[in-house]
Amino acid sequence: MPTAQTIPHADDSRLSDYRDLREPARRAALEADGGHFVAEGVTVVRRLLESSLRVRSVLVLEGREERVADLVADAVPFYVVSKEVMNSLVGFDLHRGVLACADRPLAIPLVQLAQTSRTIAVLEGLNDHENLGAIARSARALGIDALLLDPTTADPWYRRAVRVSMGEMIYLPMARSTNWPEDLDVLRANGYVVAALTPAPDAVSLASFAATSPERVALLLGAEGPGLTSTALSLSDVRVRIPIRTSVDSLNVGHAAAIAFAALGHPSD
């Protein structure tokens, strides 16, 4: 178990990875840099410390060292700060009091992702980090093998997305499309049925589609509100719907994803 180092001032350079975590410019810089991400909360940090990713440091409030100390390797800097220093550093009142910073995993080439998976969730235009995190958590739980993100989908390594995923984002293979939507042809060439999830009344029901037992499925999911673009819909092999009451407009994309994952995933694999 490493020895925790108490840091008395928020302007200490050793804490720079955690500075101003809510600032939009800071978020944009982290995504553009592609170098590291911040995990928040005991469960998420413990999941990170159990992973193979290189952890740059761990930061906790005074009195919370024991919540993660058993997993912190001796070579990992382990910092402790007061609540006042923590709040000044991150820019808001951090109730969870446990943070860690790690290198982002290397991007997986799309062809490799396609060849090593059976079920892939393909996300188009998802700009809500909480929905993204919820989808990742459901994907891991319900047997979806990987995520493919279109160029406009939000950063999956933003702190909120990783937190809502309860750390499962760390264990989910992901690729970012650089040739959208033509990359759908790469999936199709590798034996995937490209299925677009839509509330359109003329779409095939999810149960009917699942009953065909496709060997490989790429499930397209669109943003909350607008849904999938007409281009993505036109390039799908089949349109699939979740039957709901006609008096209800639609489901939250995270909830809809979980229902579809339960029908199409392979959780026992």
First to last CA, the chain: 34
User: What is the homologous superfamily of the domain 110-264 according to CATH?
Assistant: SPOUT methyltransferase, trefoil knot domain (3.40.1280.10)
> For residue 134, what pLDDT is reported?
98
C-beta pairs of 243-248 under 8 Å, 24+ apart in sequence: 243/205, 243/206, 244/199
CA angle 33, 35, 36 (to 5 degrees): 120
How do beta strands 55-61 and 98-103 pair?
antiparallel
User: What is the homologous superfamily of the domain 5-103 according to CATH?
Assistant: Ribosomal protein L30/S12 (3.30.1330.30)
Report d(CA 60, CA 97) in Å as an integer. 6
Average pLDDT over residues 10-39: 81
Q: Taking the domains of the chain in order of start, what are their residue ranges? A: 5-103, 110-264
Across all residues in the chain, what is the average pLDDT? 93
DSSP codes, 9-23: -TT-GGGGGGTTTT-
Average pLDDT over residues 49-59: 97
Q: What is the 3-state secondary structure (H, E, C) of 81-93?
A: ECHHHHHHHHCCC
> For residue 268, what pLDDT is reported?
80
DSSP codes, 51-75: SSSPEEEEEEETT-GGGTGGG--TT
Residue type, 198: T
How many percent of the chain have pLDDT more than 90? 84
The pTM (predicted TM-score) of the whole model is 0.93
Report d(CA 91, CA 164) in Å as an integer. 20
pLDDT digits (tens, 9 = 90+) for 141-189: 999 999 999 999 999 999 999 999 999 999 999 999 999 999 999 999 9
pLDDT digits (tens, 9 = 90+) for 80-113: 999 999 999 998 888 889 999 999 998 899 999 9
Q: Which residue has the tokens 């410019």?
A: 25
